[in-house]
């Protein structure tokens, strides 16, 4: 029997909560002077790569769960005569060992090939006066790529598209330093926590 799509979002949120527990423990070690700033920034780099990888895994499990009929979504219906299940997997994986789900346009393109109006993946969008979800995902990918590659090109994109005109210390103008920097002071929320919360929110939109 198919499981509700919301269970996929629940799984992702539990993973995010485990990462957050690790982050808090490491911040406590910084406060106790048991590890230094270089150590905690290394932790943030690892946590962030894990977070984005987990989100991509969530997108893949949701997509294939819908294709295989293992996941049920009231907002999703197949296009007429479209391949499903194993046949769809074979089509998608021709000449590939794995699929990339970010940039998010990849997910949209695949969804439109199999599902009516690309739903539910097209529910993630940039709404006027509301959260700019697709724009946020582009920014999160830039951060991931800068951590993973550390090339001049990725650094330049990070500086232009993430840092912009924000007033930050030199240390906070690096990916790890930025993620650890404060987005909101009351109650305190780091940029990393903001990303994690927004990814959970996006997962809920996809699974509503």
* Crossing angle (nearest 10°) for helices 191-206 and 37-68: 0
* pLDDT 10s digits, 9-46: 999 999 999 999 999 999 999 999 999 999 999 999 99
CA–CA gap between residue 55 and residue 72 (Å, rounded): 19
**Distance (Å) of CA 201 to CA 75, 117, 128, 142:** 17, 21, 17, 20
Residue 62 pLDDT = 96
Mean per-residue pLDDT, 117-122: 94
Q: Given a cut of 70, is residue 98 above it in pLDDT? A: yes
CA–CA gap between residue 5 and residue 148 (Å, rounded): 31
The radius of gyration of the chain's CA atoms, rounded to the nearest angstrom, is 19
User: Whole domain around residue 187: which residue ranges?
Assistant: 3-206
Q: Given a cut of 80, is residue 113 above it in pLDDT? A: yes
CA–CA gap between residue 141 and residue 147 (Å, rounded): 10
Residues above pLDDT 90, as percent of the chain = 79
* pLDDT 10s digits, 133-185: 999 999 999 999 999 998 999 999 999 999 999 999 999 999 999 999 999 99
Residue 130 pLDDT = 65
Predicted TM-score of the model (pTM): 0.94
**What's the domain count of the chain?**
1
Residue 129 pLDDT = 60
**Burial (Cβ within 10 Å: 0-12, 13-18, ≥19) of residue 176:** buried
**Among candidate residues 36, 18, 74, the one with its CA nearest the CA of residue 196:** 18
CA–CA gap between residue 125 and residue 153 (Å, rounded): 27
């Amino acid at each position: 029997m198919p499981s509700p799509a919301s269970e996929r979002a629940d799984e992702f949120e539990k993973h995010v909560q485990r990462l957050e527990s690790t982050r808090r423990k490491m911040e406590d070690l910084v406060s106790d002077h048991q590890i230094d700033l270089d150590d905690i920034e290394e932790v943030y780099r690892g946590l962030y790569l894990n977070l984005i990888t987990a989100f991509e895994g969530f997108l893949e499990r949701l997509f294939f769960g819908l294709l295989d009929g293992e996941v049920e979504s009231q907002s999703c219906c197949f296009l007429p005569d479209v391949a499903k299940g194993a046949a769809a997997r074979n089509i998608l994986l021709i000449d590939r060992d794995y699929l990339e789900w970010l940039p998010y346009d990849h997910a949209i393109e695949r969804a439109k090939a199999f599902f009516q109006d690309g739903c539910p993946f097209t529910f993630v969008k940039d709404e006027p006066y509301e959260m700019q979800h697709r724009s946020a995902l582009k920014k999160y990918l830039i951060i991931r790529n800068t951590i993973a590659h550390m090339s001049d090109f990725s650094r330049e994109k990070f500086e232009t598209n993430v840092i912009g005109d924000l007033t930050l210390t030199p240390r906070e103008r690096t990916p790890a330093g930025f993620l650890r920097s404060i987005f909101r002071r009351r109650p305190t929320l780091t940029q990393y926590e903001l990303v994690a919360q927004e990814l959970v929110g996006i997962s809920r939109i996809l699974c509503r």
